[in-house]
């Protein structure tokens, strides 16, 4: 099944910023056969407003689809691991009627941003490491994580912690962009970046773990979750102009932004020209792309 948005999500505030737990994007699947992408700069997810322009607007569209797929219940107590600026938690408040939602993120700046933009007293945000959650066993009805788990240094450990704090029968769910094919914005960028400079291939986000069909489900089953389901979530990504597409890459956010920041001014112009030609082959105007993420959900064994 493929999930696509059918309603307006203008009421959803903020955006998920991929967690500042970033050190180096090394994650292990069940067999520890992992791909790696160079994300050595922890500052690449440090500016919330810049990230909002870059990826946050698309996270806002993805969050309701992810929650629909996750199939949470009204009244659930929900943990949001890698809560960033609070978009997923805000979506939880809008889509279901939770008893509470707690967002955990290692970045004090993101925690403060989320707090300042969420007035609902059912939601709280705190600093913390998804690999070492402070909560007691069975404390939540659901533990969810969106666009983060592929960046956590030890995703298996984080998943084990999410399972531990979720009651038997509760939902554990996550989503990761399909960097290999389905996230057209980043696929276009990296195709042209690698064509210009083949040595940048190791920085291509298609090397991210858990970004291909079946990989998240394999991880979930390896941790003994039951009734595991995986599905693609697809959102439209419409840019009114090429500048709207390109300018966020110049602000240094995420692996792609960090790569652009590492280029000389001339190299940046050359990459910009290639992307402009690729995306505006039929003239100046709006650019319509799509973004696909892989989502997985499972239940904690009774």
Asked if pLDDT for residue 24 goes beyond 60, the answer is no
Fold category of 42-180+207-236+293-299 in CATH: Rossmann fold (3.40.50)
pLDDT for 276: 94
pLDDT exceeds cutoff 90 at 104: yes
- The percent of residues in the chain predicted with pLDDT above 70, rounded, is 82
- The model's confidence at residue 107, banded by pLDDT at 50, 70 and 90, is confident
Least confident of 7-21, 52-66, 254-268: 7-21
pLDDT at 291 over 90: yes
185-199 average pLDDT score: 97
Question: 44: pLDDT confidence band, cut at 50, 70 and 90?
Answer: low
Helices within the chain (DSSP H only):
48-51, 57-70, 87-95, 108-116, 155-164, 184-196, 215-222, 242-246, 254-262, 265-279
d(CA 83, CA 123): 11
Residue-averaged pLDDT of the chain: 85
- The yes-or-no verdict on residue 69 having pLDDT over 50 is yes
Sign of the alpha-carbon torsion through 177, 179, 185, 190? positive
Looking only at the bridges linking them, the beta strands covering 226-239 and 140-146 are: unpaired
pLDDT at 284: 63
Averaged pLDDT for residues 139-155 = 95
Residue pair 260/30 in contact (Cβ under 8 Å)? The answer is no
Distance (Å, rounded) from C-alpha 296 to C-alpha 230?
4
How far apart (Å, rounded) are the C-alpha atoms in residues 166 and 148? 18
Sign of CA dihedral 96, 102, 104, 108: positive
Residue matched to tokens 């531990």: 164
Higher pLDDT, 4 or 187: 187
> In the prediction, which pLDDT does 53 show?
79
This prediction has a pTM of 0.83
User: According to the model, what pLDDT value does residue 14 have?
Assistant: 33
Residue 21 has pLDDT above 60, yes or no: no
pLDDT at 25 over 70: no
**Predicted local distance difference test score (pLDDT) of residue 3:** 44
Q: What is the pLDDT of residue 41?
A: 47
Residues β-bridged to residue 25: 37
Rounded to an integer, the average pLDDT of 216-227 is 98
What percentage of the chain exceeds 90 in pLDDT? 72
Beta carbons within 8 Å of 186's beta carbon, 6+ residues apart = 177, 179, 205, 256
Residues ≥6 apart with Cβ < 8 Å to 167: 138, 139, 140, 141, 300
pLDDT at res. 47: 67
What confidence score (pLDDT) does residue 252 get?
86
Q: Please give the pLDDT value at position 281.
A: 64
Domain residues of the chain, as ranges?
Answer: 42-180+207-236+293-299
């Amino acid at each position: 099944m493929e999930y696509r948005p059918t309603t307006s999500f203008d009421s959803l505030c903020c955006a998920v910023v991929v967690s500042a737990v970033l050190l180096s994007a090394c994650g292990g699947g069940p067999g520890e056969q992992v791909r790696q992408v160079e994300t050595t700069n922890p500052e690449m997810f440090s500016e919330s407003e810049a990230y909002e322009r870059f990826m946050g607007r698309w996270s806002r569209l993805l969050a309701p689809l992810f929650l629909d797929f996750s199939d949470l219940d009204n009244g659930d107590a929900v943990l949001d691991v890698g809560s960033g600026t609070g978009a997923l938690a805000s979506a939880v408040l809008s889509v279901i009627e939770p008893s509470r939602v707690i967002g955990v993120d290692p970045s004090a700046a993101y925690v403060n941003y989320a707090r300042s933009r969420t007035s609902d007293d059912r939601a709280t945000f705190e600093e913390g490491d998804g690999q070492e959650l402070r909560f007691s066993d069975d404390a939540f009805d659901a533990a969810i994580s969106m666009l983060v788990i592929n960046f956590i240094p030890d995703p298996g450990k984080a998943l084990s912690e999410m399972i531990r704090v979720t009651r038997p029968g509760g939902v554990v769910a996550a989503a990761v962009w399909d960097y290999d094919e389905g996230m057209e914005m980043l696929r276009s960028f990296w195709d042209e970046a690698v064509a210009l400079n083949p040595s940048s291939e190791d920085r291509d986000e298609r090397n991210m773990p858990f970004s291909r069909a079946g990989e998240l489900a394999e991880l979930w089953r390896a941790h003994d979750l039951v009734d595991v389901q995986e599905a693609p979530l697809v959102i439209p990504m419409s840019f009114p102009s090429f500048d709207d597409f390109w300018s966020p890459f110049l602000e240094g956010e995420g692996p792609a932004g960090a790569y652009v920041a590492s280029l000389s001014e001339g190299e940046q112009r050359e990459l910009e020209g290639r992307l402009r030609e690729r995306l505006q082959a039929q003239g100046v105007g709006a650019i319509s792309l799509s973004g696909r993420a892989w989502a997985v959900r499972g239940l904690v064994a009774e």
